[in-house]
Amino acid sequence: MEKLPANGRARCRSLFTTHAEYSDISPTQYDAAYRWLEEAGLLHSSDDNLPVGQRVFRAALLTSDIYWFPDADIHVREPAEVPIDAGRAAAALGLSELQAYQEIHAVRGKVDTAERSRIGAAGEAALAHLLSSSTAARIEHVAAHSDGYGYDIAVHAGRRSLHIETKATTRRNRLTFFLSRREYEVMRHDAYWQLVMLQLTDQLAINAIASIDSAWIEAQLPADRSPYSRWEACRIDVPAEQAVSGIPRLAPLLDRAAPALLRGSGGAISASQPERRD
């Protein structure tokens, strides 16, 4: 990338395949690298004012399908947590650990709110449909017409009623959800409130269901320390032992033919595991 602008592809190829300084690079490797640069858009990039190493590292983050990328906001919370593979690549490109951390968060560490909303809406609709076909109780998808209730689905069954706040994810081995202040306030005062986690397939079908205890949730939340500020949303990681399969509070209302997912005898939901730096 440093030599191409002044020399062109043919001259650079000759240089990389004949000069002793680059004897460790074969013509096949050079051609593969050139194709990647072209596919990544680096040969026609508008960021020419950035150092080459930074441009290549940023392109690698955008084009590579590495398993930890979707969870970068969780796994990489400080420079010391930059995964070894990313750290080595950054060092080879002349970037420090701090620069690698900054690039990872600039490119991959942002929460995709549109995608989160899409997955959440799909989970709500799927659970509402599943409940409607599994119980004689009246099911109301309240979030379909208002997001101000503090929950998404109402199960109307007298004293056995339930107000379900759904949190859906397509992630594996990581059970994380965001709780809003409104949801928290409703949880505190509504005895019918229940948080239900849905693990969805890539096609947004329900793969597993788990209930999370409200008392445990409240114990994880931050405290407001000043009359001039308060938290409005909190991210919570759920350990495996806190994810109870199915929706036990609905058990008395379920039809005999209700699916195992609701009863808690279906597949277990994958919850948060200890983090590894590798």
Residue at a domain's end among 107, 134, 156: 107
CA 49 to chain centre: 32
Same-domain check for residues 82 and 165? no
Residue 273 lies in a domain: no
More confident of the two residues 125 and 277: 125
Same-domain check for residues 101 and 121? no
Per-residue pLDDT reduced to its tens digit, 44-98: 766 667 788 888 888 888 777 665 666 676 667 788 888 888 888 899 899 998 9
Residue 119 lies in a domain: yes
pLDDT of 277 strictly over 60: no
Q: Residue 272: its pLDDT value, please?
A: 54
Specify the CATH number for the domain of residue 130: 3.40.1350
Residue 96 lies in a domain: yes
Same-domain check for residues 197 and 239? yes
Same-domain check for residues 64 and 151? no
Same-domain check for residues 93 and 227? no
Same-domain check for residues 135 and 201? yes
Look at the pTM and tell me if it is higher than 0.85.
no
Q: What percent of the chain has pLDDT over 70?
A: 88
Same-domain check for residues 53 and 74? yes
Same-domain check for residues 27 and 73? yes
Q: What percent of the chain has pLDDT over 90?
A: 50
Domain that holds residue 177: 113-263
Which long-range CB contacts under 8 A does 224-233 form with residues at least 24 apart?
A: 230/181, 231/181, 232/180, 232/181, 233/178, 233/179, 233/180, 233/181
| DSSP of the chain | --SHHHHHHHHHHHHHHH-GGGTTS-HHHHHHHHHHHHHTTGGG-S-TTS-HHHHHHHHHHHH---TTGGGHHHH-SSGGGS-HHHHHHHHHTT--HHHHHHHHHHHT-S--HHHHHHHHHHHHHHHHHHHHTTBSSEEE-GGGT-S-SSSSEEEE-GGG-EEEEEEEE--SS--EEEEEHHHHHHHHH-TTEEEEEEEE-TTS-EEEEEEE-HHHHHHHSPPP-BTTB---EEEEEPBGGG-EES-GGGGGGB-TT--HHHHT-SPPPP-B------
Residue 277 lies in a domain: no
Same-domain check for residues 117 and 252? yes
How far is the C-alpha of 126 from the C-alpha of 207, rounded, in Å?
11
Residue 177 lies in a domain: yes
Same-domain check for residues 44 and 92? yes
How far is the C-alpha of 100 from the C-alpha of 94, rounded, in Å?
10
Q: What average pLDDT is seen over the chain?
A: 86
Per-residue pLDDT reduced to its tens digit, 256-273: 999 999 988 766 676 655
pLDDT of 210 strictly over 50: yes
Residue at a domain's end among 89, 107, 125: 107
Residue 76 lies in a domain: yes
Same-domain check for residues 89 and 129? no
Residue 224 lies in a domain: yes
Residue 272 lies in a domain: no
Q: Residue 31: its pLDDT value, please?
A: 82
Tell me how far apart the terminal alpha carbons of the chain are, to the nearest angstrom.
29
- Total structural domains in the chain? 2
Residue at a domain's end among 49, 73, 107: 107
Same-domain check for residues 57 and 173? no
